[in-house]
Amino acid sequence: MDLFFQLLNNLGHAGLQLLINPFYYIAILYIVLQYRKQIQFERKLFHTRLHSLLNETWRTLLWGLVGGLAISFVMLFLGITLAREVIDLIWLVTLVMILARVRFLCLAYSAGVIGIAHVIADRIPYTSNLPGLSWLLKQIANADIPSLLMIVAILHLLEGILIGWQGARMATPLFLEGKRGKIIGGFQLQNFWPVPMFVLVPLQGASTGAIPWGTLLGADFTSGWSLLAFPAMIGFMELTTSKLPDDQARSSSRRLILYGVLMLVLAAAAHYWSPLILVAALLSIALHEALIWYSRWYESKQKPLYVHSLRGLTVLSVIPGSPAAEIGIHTGEILHKVNGLKIKNRADLHAAMQLNAAFCKLEVVNLQGEIKFLQRALYSGEHHQLGIILAPDQEAMYVMEGKPVHLLTYLRNKLGGFRSNESGKPM
């Protein structure tokens, strides 16, 4: 019971540290800005929003907190430790790196850089002539790199689980320029979670007592221990034109879990054999970049899913709460007939809807290639086209440009990423 109250007391102190930690609020602000930008994209493209900024922000905060507490208990029993100075160093390196690319916000990059610098710092003579440099070299040299890389691994395992479960929630339909200039449909999937972690800190000369269990990493807690708040952020951003959002999220989830398992093994091995620290640090970055490269390469080789066919018009998405959602029309299905009229283009759809202003009968080709029959009464003031967002044709007004973004561009132009195609000509 004493251990329980001691743990609760330390957790309370660490929670107060979290509340005054600016990096936690930086992560939350980034998420709010990113989700706000996405919802503005939706309004610009479809004249309505598909997601709620408030609901999605609270969801990510809640599950980030739950995930952070869960992995904190895992790290507690593993004996993973970090010094406060190392946590500050991680955020310093991260803030510098994201000026080049926003994706460098991921801990895999800053941990890899610090791990490489740690190996180099061990071979540089200590000097006190430059106080700032001396402090930096000292913190890098004293950093527990295996523990840091284990945190990277555990965070990516958590990220993989959350993406597999929630990754498709923030999928936004987009219009993109495909091969040979043809405009195609696709989805941008993005989800972020601010994860407050609480890591062990060994204390010297404290009265808290030793931890009454053995830890995997065997850190020395005989003189006492405490908990330190370590806010981090996990998340992903994927673009797919060949898969359903749920399928893409599951694929990303599996790859991230594999990455997490590999890094966990490498970090544990580096703890027991220090020459592996450099290998593990390099692979932390290289394997993460390989995940991104593989996803893009795979997409480039696949046939676009969200294009119209001879069977009819392809459904890109459905507005939540709309008549189409109510009667069970789903992403990737094909509108074959409406009110008995075969649909070949948007003009056909508009004409078919005008045949009966009070009722609508549809023949829809589902994802298995089978015809399903749907019908519904129509009421004044309901969504245009039943709330169906169709795959684009060459008359699309806005097309997304997939270019790497650095932080300064992102902050300057929160509505960037789309270019107008108002002429209606093929691009």
* Residue showing tokens 């950093």: 143
DSSP letter, residue 122: T
- The SS3 assignment for 318 reads strand
For 278-387, where are the E strands, in sequence order? Answer: 313-318, 334-338, 341-342, 359-365, 371-377
- All domains in the chain, ordered by first residue: 2-300 (no CATH), 313-390 (2.30.42.10)
Amino acid (1-letter code) at residue 232: A
Residue 82 has, within 13 A of its CA and on its CB side, a CA count of: 26
pLDDT 10s digits, 207-258: 555 565 556 665 555 556 778 889 999 998 899 999 999 999 999 999 999 9
Residue 88: the pLDDT is 86
Amino acid, single-letter form, for residue 396: A
pTM above 0.75, yes or no: yes
pLDDT of residue 228: 87
The pLDDT tens digits of the residues spanning 48-65 come to 888 899 999 999 999 999
Beta carbons within 8 Å of 180's beta carbon, 6+ residues apart: none
Q: pLDDT grade, residue 397 (50/70/90)?
A: low
Lowest mean pLDDT, pick from 66-70, 78-82, 347-351, 375-379: 78-82
Continuous segment of H or E residues that includes residue 5:
helix 2-19
DSSP structure class, residue 309: B
Calculate mean pLDDT across residues 86-105.
87
Q: Which residue has the tokens 């402090």?
A: 135
